[in-house]
Chains A and B, each alone.
Chain A
Amino acid sequence: GDSVTQMEGPVTLSEEAFLTINCTYTATGYPSLFWYVQYPGEGLQLLLKATKADDKGSNKGFEATYRKETTSFHLEKGSVQVSDSAVYFCALPRDTDKLIFGTGTRLQVFP
């Protein structure tokens, strides 16, 4: 069945370091792909999305490119800040658009 696989966390970085959080998916067809972020004590916020192959979603300095050939949607940021500390979820919509989520990757950024 359809699934999303994320890299294990936590990812621990110093401020201004480069971030990559890996996400791969298994799905029939070519669904949209999403990254959601959950800051401590808060709900899920949409971070970015891509709707078709080779699309790049971007927001708040984060980017992710929809790679059909590698079935991947890795999240990247060139220079992380302490305020980026959160849990990041990769997701894809299936059936009547219910979301299938990865397990989440916790990012901790230290000054």
Chain B
Amino acid sequence: DSGVTQTPKHLITATGQRVTLRCSPRSGDLSVYWYQQSLDQGLQFLIQYYNGEERAKGNILERFSAQQFPDLHSELNLSSLELGDSALYFCASRSEGTDTQYFGPGTRLTVL
């Protein structure tokens, strides 16, 4: 158990819909990262938050957005969903002074 939690574990929805994925980092970790794992793109960095502020953006679509709340949990919002958004979405957190990221169990999103 990494200490990073993600909900829900599975999500099935239809094209055009909007979903929210939730992540709670390890206790005390200020940095949260979101990654997407798909068959054709592999593991791709989406976005990073640090103590409530956006720190870095990767290959994140404009239809996707994220935020980190004062209690440090983070949410990834995916809107106008397309079939190609079906993937496993991981959250990771990192402690200050280290470069090691610990991953949550992921949310499997299926868009029908």
Contacts and interface: CB of A to CB of B under 8 A. Distances in A.
Interface in B2-20: 2
By DSSP majority rule, is chain A's interface helix, strand, loop, or mixed?
A: strand
Contact of A45 (B50, B55, B103): B103
Nearest to B104: A43
A72 to B, nearest CB: 19
B41 to A, nearest CB: 10
A43 B106 contact: yes
Interface in B28-81: 31, 33, 35, 42-43, 45, 48, 50, 55-56, 58
A23 to B, nearest CB: 14
B59 to A, nearest CB: 11
Interface of B: 2, 31, 33, 35, 42-43, 45, 48, 50, 55-56, 58, 90, 92, 94, 99-106
Interface in A36-76: 36, 42-46, 49, 51
A103 B42 contact: yes
Contact of A104 (B43, B100, B106): B43
A108 B51 CA distance: 40
Nearest to A92: B99
B106 A93 contact: no
Interface string A2-15: 00000000000000
Contacts, number: 55
Contacts of B104: 43
A65 B43 CA distance: 23
A43 B105 contact: yes
Given A96-B56, A97-B94, 18 more contacts: A36-B103, A43-B2, A43-B104, A43-B106, A45-B103, A46-B2, A46-B101, A89-B43, A93-B99, A96-B50, A96-B55, A99-B35, A99-B43, A99-B92, A100-B45, A101-B43, A104-B42, A104-B43
Contacts of A36: 103
A34 interface: yes
